[in-house]
Chain A
Amino acid sequence: MTNTLTRLLQTRDWLLADGATGTNLFNMGLESGEPPELWNVDHPDRIAKLYSLAVDAGSDLFLTNSFGGNASRLKLHNAQGRVRELNRTAAEIGRDVADKAGRPVAVCGSMGPTGDIFAPMGTLTHELAVEMFHEQAEGLKEGGADVLWVETISAPEEFAAAAEAAKLAGMDWCGTMSFDTAGRTMMGVTSAQLAALVEKLPNPPLAFGANCGVGAADLMRTVMGFVSSGTERPIIAKGNAGIPKYHDGHIHYDGTPALMGDYACLARDAGATIIGGCCGTMPEHLKAMHEALSTRERGPRPSLEDVTEKLGGFSSDTDGTGDDAGPTRERRGRRRG
């Protein structure tokens, strides 16, 4: 049997994903420093509420509250023995909300980075990463997730390890990286490199793309990079609701619902299929995005100028793709080439 997300992708030309998990949970009283995954067991009602906020705003899919649910992250709270349980419950609550939605809604099992750096510089090996992701994947599967959703990854090795874990668990998956450093991921991956990497995997994702990063404008440029790579695969755009600003002791994201509505349509016009938000994206943003996607006609593919005009400037001059691949250093080059 195919999963809900695959069926949705076959019948629709755009899908609305969800918004922020952390920002919403903090509003419900999550204490900073407390791992959100514990709430799957301690406050399942609040997690059900979190998922319902997205479904009620029109989301066709939502991510489970399991982003930091791998052994390496949970170890920081001495909860590394609860991986299976916390992921299973994250998906179970989601399954319940989705099944009551009255329309097809996909439950996507969120898997965030381990936070470790790969050998030789760090301690993480491919085998260890696969083992951790696999353990998490089995929990999400058991709880009834439709697909796995690997997100905010910056290292290609970690992306590949998560793919292998999905294969071991026999699950379809989607994967996004976070492009937050001069248009690349922290580890230097460009949009074009991710598009190429995805096709080399033995079990490529149903859809791939970008999440988080800097602001909506940067994320659009990354999406346009995927499109120019010629990929045939559905593209995911999950950008932050603008950039966090500090005012009088409080922090808020400067992206308005109206701006996120523009962003959603621009992303669709640029070629993205699964469109959602990330940090700072609240239900009112999702509603505006749903409204915009449902009511506005598709437009021509936007240019970079269209993006900056509607969403603001980019954080760097180039994103490392195309002919203008950015600055390089002339080397003495006397030692091996």
Chain B
Amino acid sequence: MADEDDIILSELDDDELVQQMHDDLYDGLKEEIEEAVNILVERGWTPYDILTKALVAGMTIVGNDFRDGILFVPEVLLAANAMKGGMAILKPMLVETGAPRMGKMVIGTVKGDIHDIGKNLVAMMMEGAGFEVVDIGINNPVENYLEAIEREQADILGMSALLTTTMPYMKVVIDTMKEKGIRDDYLVLVGGAPLNEEFGKAIGADAYCRDAAVSVEIAKEMVARKHNQMGA
């Protein structure tokens, strides 16, 4: 399939360039993504449009294929890395132009649980999708979560557990949030190998996230819904 000449990104029109960026994100080509972001900036695109139409839309394809078992973790990590390259260019401009934030997430593994690879993947993919992520690490008691969401003014709280013995602790965190009357100020997402949807509901989380791709999808959907409600 590579019989055509190599592509010169700057010669593509806007639509083609965005299409190409989706492909390049899919292939995890960081330098090409950085170059393309700079081209769109020069062409006068707003940073927010570049973020949403080129980068986040491209990562959505990656996320869908991860969910569907077409892509696996190594490819997704490369894609997220390419996205990060583009984000590094856009971030200062997004702040400057006062563009709407995607949202901020505090994420950590619950008390008693030292497994962190799943949580790390979610953090990387959430960053890849344009969210700000504050990772508070492993073995977190409820106080750590509460302190971090307040300090960071987070929109989302993410909790992870790999053990059947530690997953019930998620309920302790949610119940404490309820007692303090702050439960509804945050979206609470839970994930980890032994969890399932039924468990997420039973403990009062907003959603159970089967994998990192689903976490991103659900976070985007729920943050958008929250914004709409606030606007209404």
Distance (Å) between the CB of A289 and the closest chain B CB? 21
Which of chain B's residues has its CB closest to A183's CB? B69
Q: Is the CB of A180 within 8 A of B193?
A: yes
Cα–Cα distance between A334 and B114 once the two chains are bound (Å): 44
Q: Is the CB of A117 within 8 A of B194?
A: no
Q: Is the CB of A334 within 8 A of B23?
A: yes
Check: B165 CB closer than 8 A to any chain A CB.
Answer: yes
B32: which A residues are within 8 A, CB to CB?
335
Q: Is the CB of A32 within 8 A of B6?
A: no
Distance (Å) between the CB of A15 and the closest chain B CB? 27
Interface code A92-133, partner B: CB below 8 Å = 1, 0 otherwise?
000000000000000000000001010011100000000000
Check: A187 CB closer than 8 A to any chain B CB.
Answer: yes
Q: Is the CB of A327 within 8 A of B2?
A: no
Q: Is the CB of B7 within 8 A of A334?
A: yes
B196: which A residues are within 8 A, CB to CB?
246
Interface code A314-337, partner B: CB below 8 Å = 1, 0 otherwise?
001010100000111101111111
Check: B72 CB closer than 8 A to any chain A CB.
Answer: yes
Q: Is the CB of B73 within 8 A of A251?
A: no
Which of chain B's residues has its CB closest to A337's CB? B2
Known: A32-B166, A246-B198, A249-B168. Contact between A336 and B138, CB under 8 A? Answer: no
Q: Is the CB of B111 within 8 A of A184?
A: no
Query: Which of B65, B81, B193: most chain A CB closer than 10 A?
Result: B193
Check: A313 CB closer than 8 A to any chain B CB.
Answer: no
Q: Which of B85-93, B115-123, B181-189 contacts A (4 or more CB under 8 A)?
A: B115-123
Return the contact of A335 from the options B6, B69, B77, B138 (Cβ within 8 A): B6
Q: Is the CB of A32 within 8 A of B78?
A: no
Check: A171 CB closer than 8 A to any chain B CB.
Answer: no
Check: A257 CB closer than 8 A to any chain B CB.
Answer: no
Cα–Cα distance between A185 and B26 once the two chains are bound (Å): 20
A253: which B residues are within 8 A, CB to CB?
164
Known: A33-B111, A33-B139, A246-B199. Contact between A251 and B72, CB under 8 A? Answer: no
Check: A302 CB closer than 8 A to any chain B CB.
Answer: no
B69: which A residues are within 8 A, CB to CB?
181-184, 316, 318, 320, 326-327
Interface residues of B in 70-87 (CB under 8 A from A): 70-75, 77-78, 81
B138: which A residues are within 8 A, CB to CB?
76
Return the contact of B68 from the options A180, A327, A334 (Cβ within 8 A): A327
Check: B167 CB closer than 8 A to any chain A CB.
Answer: yes
Known: A187-B72, A335-B2. Contact between A251 and B164, CB under 8 A? Answer: yes
Q: Is the CB of A115 within 8 A of B70?
A: no
Q: Is the CB of A32 within 8 A of B4?
A: no
Query: Which of A31, A335, A337: most chain B CB closer than 10 A?
Result: A335
Q: Is the CB of A32 within 8 A of B7?
A: no
Distance (Å) between the CB of B198 and the closest chain A CB? 6
Check: A44 CB closer than 8 A to any chain B CB.
Answer: no
Q: Is the CB of A188 within 8 A of B113?
A: no
Which of chain A's residues has its CB closest to B65's CB? A329
Q: Is the CB of A244 within 8 A of B2?
A: no
Distance (Å) between the CB of B77 and the closest chain A CB? 4
B171: which A residues are within 8 A, CB to CB?
249
Check: B152 CB closer than 8 A to any chain A CB.
Answer: no
Return the contact of A333 from the options B1, B61, B114, B198 (Cβ within 8 A): B1
Interface residues of B in 48-70 (CB under 8 A from A): 61, 65, 68-70
Distance (Å) between the CB of A112 and the closest chain B CB? 11
Cα–Cα distance between A329 and B26 once the two chains are bound (Å): 11
Query: Which of B70, B116, B120, B199: most chain A CB closer than 10 A?
Result: B70
Query: Which of A183, A188, A318: most chain B CB closer than 10 A?
Result: A188
Cα–Cα distance between A56 and B186 once the two chains are bound (Å): 51
A sample of 13 inter-chain contacts (CB < 8 A) reads A32-B111, A32-B169, A33-B111, A33-B112, A77-B114, A181-B69, A188-B71, A188-B75, A244-B194, A253-B164, A329-B70, A331-B26, A335-B29
**Apart from the given pairs A186-B117, A334-B1, 9 other A-B contacts in the complex at a CB distance below 8 Å:** A32-B166, A32-B169, A33-B113, A35-B114, A188-B74, A253-B164, A328-B70, A329-B65, A335-B24
6 shortest interchain CB distances as A-B pairs = A32-B112, A188-B72, A182-B69, A337-B2, A333-B1, A33-B112
**Interface set of B (CB-CB < 8 Å, partner A):** 1-2, 4, 6-7, 19-20, 23-24, 26-27, 29, 32, 61, 65, 68-75, 77-78, 81, 111-117, 120, 138-139, 163-169, 171, 193-194, 196, 198-199, 202, 211
